Amino acid sequence: MQLTKERIAIALVLALTFGVTLLAWPSMPDPVASHWGVSGEVNGYLPKFWGLLLVPFLSAGLAALLLLVPRIDPLRGNIEEFREAYERFIVVFLLYMLAVQAFILLWNYGIQVSISMVLSPAFAALFYEIGVLIGQAKPNWTIGIRTRWTLSSPVVWEKTHALGGKLFRLVGILALLGVFFPSHAIFFILVPVLAVSFFLVYHSYREYEKEQAARLKGER
């Protein structure tokens, strides 16, 4: 596997995630707070081992899986066309996981920062980068807006992803509102994401139907 600046960044973020966890380990309680409700109250605990290492392990496992995807996709040649954007997304995703881990460590250390102040910007960056990735994605079987209609038509794929890229960048911007309205932060994240996801599925269907209607008209 070729060593790129994005892959170096992936390794560095993973090393940082494990590093800060191990440095904080002696100061952490057992069990550790590991789950928070919508309003920011603790409602779940885990033994110290899993409470502190679950996020780092998940980060490492998901990074390995995401790096493997382009190698097994039947259309991996298309993925190569937007590989840089894809690997940059992995870096941003791992930074998001690092933000989650930092929140867990700070809270259990006794610094009870607002969950919306940490995770709203993290979600914003993640969804914005998803928008950048989607806007550049070429047809493939594993990355992007994969509906039966986008996978059946390169034109529908391009139109849906061009629009999806813009909408997910907007979702990222809206997620930042959670910083200013912490009691409603979850709604600024979930509602736009669900709305955009459902709309893009419908949009791909409509574009495919329009394409088929135009093709039938041209054949008459």
The C-alpha atoms of residue 55 and residue 171 are separated, in whole angstroms, by 24
Distance spanning both ends of the chain, measured CA to CA: 51
Per-residue pLDDT, averaged over 16-24, amounts to 97
pLDDT of residue 89: 97
Confidence band for 14, pLDDT divided at 50, 70 and 90 = very high
- pLDDT tens, 140-154? 999 999 999 999 999
- pLDDT tens, 179-201? 888 888 888 989 999 999 999 99
pTM summary value: 0.92
Q: Are 145 and 164 in contact (CB under 8 A)?
A: yes
Grouping H, G, I as helix, E, B as strand and the rest as coil, residue 142 is: coil
pLDDT of residue 43: 83
Evaluate if residue 40 carries a pLDDT over 80. Answer: no
Evaluate if residue 157 carries a pLDDT over 70. Answer: yes
Q: Phi and psi for 47 in degrees, rounded to 5?
A: -55, 150
Confidence band for 78, pLDDT divided at 50, 70 and 90 = very high
Confidence band for 39, pLDDT divided at 50, 70 and 90 = low
pLDDT of residue 1: 61
Peptide bond into 192 cis (omega under 30): no
